[in-house]
Amino acid sequence: MSLPSLRSLTSLYTLDRPFARIANVTGIVLVVSVTLGWVSHQMKGFVTDESAGIDTHALTWASGAGVVLMVLGLVLMLRRYHWIHQVVSHGTVIKGVLQKIDVHTTRLPAEKHAPWTPRLSHTYYAVVSYDCGGVTRQARLKLPAGATMTEGAEIDLMILPRTPSQPLLRAVFQNWARTAARSGR
């Protein structure tokens, strides 16, 4: 498997919430482990081996554990990328029915110049029912920004036969596949 391009990874970051969460946690672990490694390296100049306490040893082990967690996060990111690529390239297209649209509203911190104006962020989720292998299933999928869908409408989903409970919206990831193919893979 060839490594994905940076362009396809950044577009997947905006489209796929689990991929974005793994990338965020991996980035945080990277910063923390580098910081702890730097601090433990600086403390070695001040502390001799006889006077080294548990905190000095904990810093050394924490930076090493952070590197291991970072590698694990990178592996999970590549695995998620590979799975989505498999669904897009080898998945089957099925029809689903949009049962309802859920709106999740989050209040954002107020802006400095207008603290009296509430800032709200809206995230839209589609509850979709579909039939796969004679079994009716339901899934809750995040809709992209600006998507206009009505309840009761038919939508296209992509699934892999081995994972029928994890569909992807065809309209969203089909465009991602075209972008990933153009970016020089």
Whole-number Å distance between alpha carbons of 169 and 17 = 13
Q: Cβ contacts of residue 179 below 8 Å, gap of 6+?
A: 7, 8, 11
Q: Count of CB atoms within 10 A of residue 124's CB?
A: 16
pLDDT digits (tens, 9 = 90+) for 38-86: 887 777 666 656 666 676 677 778 888 888 999 999 999 999 999 998 9
The phi, psi pair for 119, rounded to 5°, reads: -110, 125
Write down the pLDDT at residue 73.
Answer: 94
Task: Of 100, 180, 176, 99, give the one whose Cα is nearest residue 144.
Answer: 176
* pTM of the complete model: 0.75
pLDDT digits (tens, 9 = 90+) for 93-131: 999 999 998 888 888 887 777 777 788 888 888 899 999
Instruction: Flag the least confident range among 26-35, 103-112, 121-130, 132-141.
Output: 103-112
